Amino acid sequence: MLQIQEWVPVEEARRLILREFHPLPPESVPLSQALGRILAEDVQAEVDLPPFPNSAMDGYAVRAEDVRTASRERPVRLRVRGEAAAGRPFPSGVEPGTAVRIATGALLPSGADAVIPVEDTDDAGGPGRPLPPEIAVFRPAQPGQFIRPAGEDVARGTVALERGTILTPGALALLAALGRLEVPVHRRPRVAVLAIGDELIEPGRPLPPGCIYETNRTALAAQAVEAGAEPLLLGIARDDPEDLQRLLDEAAAHHPDLILSSAGASVGAYDWVKEVVQRHGELRLWKVRIRPGKPFAFGHYRGIPFFGLPGNPVSAMITFDQFVRPVLRRMGGHPRWERPRIPVRLAEPISSDGRETYFRARIFYEDGQFWARLSGLQGSHILSAMARANGLVILPEGVPALPAGATAMAEVWVDLQDLMSASGTP
Ligand SMILES: Nc1nc2c(c(=O)[nH]1)N[C@H]1C(S)=C(S)[C@@H](COP(=O)(O)OP(=O)(O)OC[C@H]3O[C@@H](n4cnc5c(N)ncnc54)[C@H](O)[C@@H]3O)O[C@H]1N2
Ligand code: MOO
Ligand SMILES: [Mg+2]
């Protein structure tokens, strides 16, 4: 059995945890359910896109050679042999001295090598017009003009989308254009979320004295969804080792990819997590040099990766964000699992107790730079500051304080572009 590592720096904890996780195997999902999922395999085009040469304009398919001398003053007249509509190809070719009326997207008839837009002819355009016996062309055409060649978008046999691509609406449209119904994506991790505590009451019920509403499952399940995972909500265990084991066993019976608990992780008389997990598993890490979130634990329970998050609601969310979110994103096949950090100027001073500290902050853009102001009190029970925050400012271990005006690194949870366009103090 490996020894528990205690009082580990944040970066080292993250590294020790992340190395245990890899992208989950592919599963095939319908395109309608694939938005935001990560492509697990290269997708090869089995057809050309466009599948056939077609017109980019409503007009006439011609031989460029025939209209070489066309001008407004001396139009070239062509006999109209028929029509190519979208989905209804013209059955034969374009002979010298003739044209075929063509719609945008219609297959280019053989013999034609250019399309003249209707505006460059004496055809007035518009729906329901009978086919004219002949047209006058007012402009010459370059060979290839207004023709969309087969395979111009994606050539058959080439890789249309690479493994690791995030399936955006555009990527899904491309897959549909290739005729795909389904797409191989990394399976989404399933995360069992349980709570622990005699004081915890389900929201919606009356609150007995000394009790509070249970919030961590709501927060952690939402964070799991944001990280691309599927949460599996379990119950609330009492502050009792047998009841905690019962709920952990119930979680394990669902065969999730991870089990997450919150609370009972510290050194109190009712903090059973460490002991109970070790009955049927092991802990690799316990206590990280992070604030908030110090009592964080990581290990395995009945062979399933287990994260014992601290009970304080902000500590649970920050340790999820820093240690669980990257794991879930990596398992989901995301190419980048950690949040990028940007430099911000501090609108007020910050200080820590020596642990790497994550301040809940409002990041804003003013005078051409990003600034950060604390979003409220920084206690690990203060949910209002968490609710108002749009990011975290990080004070690394070994930097006890920074004055107002200093630069610190921050993780921003919203689009930077949005912040820049809403320039000003929040
Ligand atoms: N003597 C020491 N005491 C504490 C230490 C320490 O090092 N020495 N660490 C403190 C730190 S830091 C944290 S963080 C907390 C972590 O405590 P636990 O993980 O043991 O959690 P609990 O004691 O069970 O609960 C703490 C707090 O959080 C509330 N809570 C718990 N679960 C939920 C939930 N699902 N929804 C809402 N609120 C929840 C609980 O009511 C407590 O107020 O320990 C410090 N103590
Ligand atoms: O480090 Mo504990 O997470 O609240 O205050
Ligand atoms: Mg405790």
Q: What is the pLDDT of residues 172-187, one digit of tens each?
A: 999 999 999 999 999 9
Q: What is the pLDDT of residues 35-89, one digit of tens each?
A: 999 999 999 999 999 999 999 999 999 999 999 999 999 999 999 999 999 999 9
Query: Around Cβ 51, how many Cβ atoms within 10 Å?
Result: 15
Report how far residue 363's alpha carbon sits from residue 411's, in angstroms, rounded to the nearest whole number.
9
Would you say the CB of residue 145 lies under 6 angstroms from ligand 2? no
Does position 194 have pLDDT exceeding 70, yes or no? yes
Cβ neighbours for 311, distance < 8 A, ≥ 6 positions apart: 196, 197, 216, 262, 263, 264, 265, 266
The domain ranges of the chain are 5-24+188-331, 26-50+152-186, 54-148, 341-421
| Nearest ligand atom owner, CA of 313 | 1
Query: Around Cβ 325, how many Cβ atoms within 10 Å?
Result: 20
Ligand 2 centre and the CA of 310: distance in Å? 7
Contact between residue 293 and residue 313 where contact means Cβ atoms under 8 Å apart: no
Would you say the CB of residue 315 lies under 6 angstroms from ligand 2? yes
Helix (H) or strand (E) holding 258: strand 258-262
Fold of 26-50+152-186: Molybdopterin biosynthesis moea protein, domain 2 (3.90.105)
Look at domain 5-24+188-331 and name its CATH class.
alpha beta
Atom of ligand 1 nearest to the CA of 262: 32
Q: Which residues surround ligand 3, an ion (CB under 5 A)?
A: 266, 268, 271
Ligand 1 centre and the CA of 295: distance in Å? 9
- Complex ipTM: 0.99
Structure tokens at 400: 């006890």
Q: What is the pLDDT of residues 330-351, one digit of tens each?
A: 999 998 999 999 999 999 999 9
Ligand 1 centre and the CA of 400: distance in Å? 24
pTM, two decimal places: 0.92
Fold of 341-421: Beta-clip (2.40.340)
Contact between residue 358 and residue 386 where contact means Cβ atoms under 8 Å apart: no
Ligand 1 centre and the CA of 211: distance in Å? 14
The CATH code of domain 54-148 reads 2.170.190.11
